Amino acid sequence: MKSCFKRSNVRASLVLFVFFVSASLPAQTPVGVWQTIGDKGEDKGKVLSHIQIYEYDGKIGAKVAKLLKDPDAKCHADCPGNKANAPILGMNIMWGLKKTGDSKWEGEMLDPEDGLVYNCILSVNGNKLTVRGYDRFSPVSRTQTWLRLN
């Protein structure tokens, strides 16, 4: 009887340990600062900017917090509204992203390089954020992996 008691204590301790460790793991959220990594041409593999992803009204948005390649870069002339030819630094480039899965959000994003607004899907996997921009009416899409700074 005594050995069964010890075995159940060990089992209970193990269950509690697993519960506390899993409860202390960080949530899979995109909120924070992310490094964008170039995925084409001479910028491939280079850190190009820092993007601040934030929560507002139960949604997710993002703004450009730092530009490493060209801090004075302007949004393309085709950018919508008052964003055309405006400084990219500080600009909101994602908005209205709603949670659609455990670690997945969907909304819209602006690509300042071409001035177009795309549908956007964010997927978090630890310290990596997969960002997919696509147009519903076109087979063209682009996917990047960003790395968490904090």
Q: How confident is the model at residue 2 (pLDDT cuts 50, 70, 90)?
A: low
Average pLDDT over residues 132-136: 91
Contact 36, 63 (CB under 8 A): no
Among 20-34, 44-58, 127-141, the range scoring the smallest mean pLDDT is 20-34
pLDDT for the residue 105: 97
**Taking the complete model, does pTM exceed 0.85, yes or no?**
no
Q: Which residue has the higher pLDDT, 29 or 150?
A: 29
Domains within the chain, CATH numbers bracketed:
26-148 (2.40.128.520)
* pLDDT, greater one: 137 or 103: 103
Average pLDDT, the chain: 86
pLDDT of residue 136: 81
